[in-house]
Amino acid sequence: MTQRLRFAPSPTGFLHVGGARTALYNWLYARKQNGVFVLRIEDTDVQRSSQEMVDVILNSLQWLGLNWDEGPYFQSQRFDLYRNTAYQLVLDGKAYRCFCKPDELNARREAGMKATGSWKYERVCYTLSKDQVESKMGAGESYAIRFFVPEGRTTFQDLVHGEISLANEQVEDFVLLRSDRFPTYHLSVVVDDIDMKITQVIRGDDHISNTPKQIMLYAALGAKHPEFAHLPLILGADKKRLSKRHGSVAVEEYRNQGILPEALDNFLALLGWNPGDEREIMSAEELTKEFDLGRVNSSNAVFDLKKLQWMNGKYISSVPLDRLLQLLDPFLPDPTWKQNPDFTKWVELMRTRAVTLAELATMLGPFLQDEFPYDPAGLEKAKKDPAALQLLKEYAPSISEVDPWDHKTLEAHLRKFTEAHSVKPAVLIHPIRMAISGKTAGPGLFELIELTGPQKTIARLNRFLQQQ
């Protein structure tokens, strides 16, 4: 049997990392099983859903490389199917019309909670006779349709958590169709999963409490329920549920910071799952080959932003140069930088130091423009060593004598110069780096000087000395 999985986001907001991980796990499972990955947009909340958010979700999935085989299907285009199913359940005696008004329900709920600390719907309308129901309908009273929860116990084998069981008496008769004729989540998701022949449902832990209700509904509709796998939550470093206070949580934001899609995929895959060994950097092909729900940890995962940045840095260092230049393009503050004949050389030199594309673009600035700021702390440190600055004044003109202009000869020249002045090379390395790049750290100093060229190097040394 063909394995069919689905990702079903609600277009009421951006695609956050939790949803992205869910989509990724469904995609990986489908690809490993040579199955089908279905995209379904659950937009039954018409007031909060928007086409803008649909577009953002689709773009985010495409950017992550999570291509779908079917869809996107829209629940808002399937309302008749849900309504017909609800009414059929009424005819089958598995659901009933509920005429209770919201304010009445709220009052009874508050009274019950105050008296006993708990409350569930008392099946007031289930006991109405056929004549009473017809009378209320004839009078134009609005009603919802509630599912009649049968006696017994609902048990299922979760692919992550193992066996989960719940006494049905703990579940109230839940609403399938609201009085405004809009379906609830439980009805629409079950009808869709049956209609789309979904075989596995991989979703977040927050849906575990929904699962027994939905399994009852599958049974009432004469359908076999899919296998369920509920993923642990993603927490921030403070072990609280991931939110904006922990930094960016939407895929779009990470994209805008310069995180590579393959790095985010790799990082998200390892949030709660591992390949069974110490590997951390894994391609999409490797992730697909190794993915196994049996290795998903049932405990919550912790989102480590520094780990994501480290991983992204590894991808920036290794991605083919042509693709890196293409990815970097939107982050360049000045498109004319690309006209510099040494642009690609600077990218190659600096790529190993950056953890995001935005940071890489910032690092390139000092080498592709003549005016750039100096690191304040580094500048202050240089001012505290007037002897080194005086020595730098002598060194600046001597560098024009270097031939050939390559990093090995430049290093030998500096060592010979400092030896002649009875000081260590480190005395000049800090101020020279500040003069060349405005930074206190970076790639090899002599590689920087080589690429900067003699004319610009001397000019930058003189510019730096004028700041003192």
pLDDT at position 117: 85
Residues in the chain: 468
Contacts of 394 (CB under 8 A, 6+ apart): 421
One-letter amino acid identity for 47? Q
Question: What is the Cα–Cα distance from 218 to 94, expressed in whole angstroms?
Answer: 12
Smallest Cα–Cα separation from 133: which of 91, 105, 172?
91
pLDDT tens per residue across span 362-394: 999 988 888 889 889 988 888 888 888 899 999
pLDDT tens per residue across span 150-188: 999 999 999 999 999 999 999 999 999 999 999 999 999
pLDDT at position 203: 97
pLDDT at position 288: 97
pLDDT tens per residue across span 264-278: 999 999 999 999 999
pLDDT tens per residue across span 308-354: 999 999 999 999 999 999 999 999 999 999 999 999 999 999 999 99
pLDDT: which is higher, 237 or 17: 17
Categorize the per-residue pLDDT at 76 as very low, low, confident or very high, splitting at 50, 70 and 90.
Answer: very high
All domains of the chain in start order, with CATH: 4-72+185-234 (3.40.50.620), 80-177 (3.90.800.10), 244-318 (1.10.1160.10), 321-363 (no CATH), 370-468 (1.10.10.350)
Residue 248 has pLDDT above 80, yes or no: no
pLDDT at position 245: 62
**Which residues on adjacent β-strands are paired with residue 296?**
273
Smallest Cα–Cα separation from 198: which of 30, 322, 58?
30
Smallest Cα–Cα separation from 59: which of 78, 39, 75, 77?
39
Q: Give mean pLDDT, residues 251-261.
A: 96
Are 434 and 420 in contact, with CB atoms under 8 Å apart?
Answer: no
Query: What's the 3-state SS for the chain?
Result: CCCEEEECCCCCCCCEHHHHHHHHHHHHHHHHCCCEEEEEECCCCCCCCCHHHHHHHHHHHHHCCCCCCEEEEEHHHCHHHHHHHHHHHHHCCCEEEECCCHHHHHHHHHHHHHHHCCCCCCCCHHHCCHHHHHHHHHCCCCCEEEECCCCCEEEEEECCCEEEEEEHHHCCCCEEECCCCCECHHHHHHHHHHHCCCCEEEEEHHHHHHHHHHHHHHHHCCCCCCEEEEECCEECCCCCECCHHHCCCEHHHHHHHCCCHHHHHHHHHCCCECCCCCCCCCCHHHHHHHCCHHHECCCCEECCHHHHHHHHHHHHHHCCHHHHHHHHHHHCCCHHHHHCCCHHHHHHHHHHHCCCHHHHHHHHHHHHCCCCCCCHHHHHHHHCCHHHHHHHHHHHHHHHHCCCCCHHHHHHHHHHHHHHCCCCCHHHHHHHHHHHHCCCCCCCHHHHHHHHCHHHHHHHHHHHHHCC
Beta strand 175-177 with 144-147: parallel, antiparallel or unpaired?
Answer: antiparallel
Are 179 and 143 in contact, with CB atoms under 8 Å apart?
Answer: yes
Categorize the per-residue pLDDT at 16 as very low, low, confident or very high, splitting at 50, 70 and 90.
Answer: very high
pLDDT tens per residue across span 219-242: 999 999 999 999 999 998 888 887
pLDDT tens per residue across span 33-53: 999 999 999 999 888 889 999
224 catalytically annotated? no
Q: Is 397 exposed, middle or buried (0-12, 13-18, 19+ CB in 10 A)?
A: exposed
Categorize the per-residue pLDDT at 246 as very low, low, confident or very high, splitting at 50, 70 and 90.
Answer: low
Q: Please state the pTM of the whole predicted model.
A: 0.91
C-alpha angle 237/9/292, rounded to 5°? 65
pLDDT at position 239: 82
pLDDT tens per residue across span 134-149: 999 999 999 999 999 9
pLDDT at position 130: 94
CA distances from 187 to 135, 194, 349, 365 (A): 27, 11, 57, 56
pLDDT at position 23: 98
Contacts of 447 (CB under 8 A, 6+ apart): 349, 407
Task: Please state the separation of Cα 96 from the chain's center in Å.
Answer: 41
Residue 247 has pLDDT above 80, yes or no: no
Beta strand 144-147 with 95-98: parallel, antiparallel or unpaired?
Answer: antiparallel
pLDDT at position 134: 95
C-alpha angle 362/364/365, rounded to 5°? 70
Question: What is the Cα–Cα distance from 286 to 263, expressed in whole angstroms?
Answer: 13
Question: What is the Cα–Cα distance from 432 to 460, expressed in whole angstroms?
Answer: 9
Out of 101, 244, 408, 424, which one is annotated catalytic?
244
One-letter amino acid identity for 223? A
Q: What are phi and psi of 463, to 5 degrees?
A: -65, -40
Q: What does pLDDT average to over the chain?
A: 94
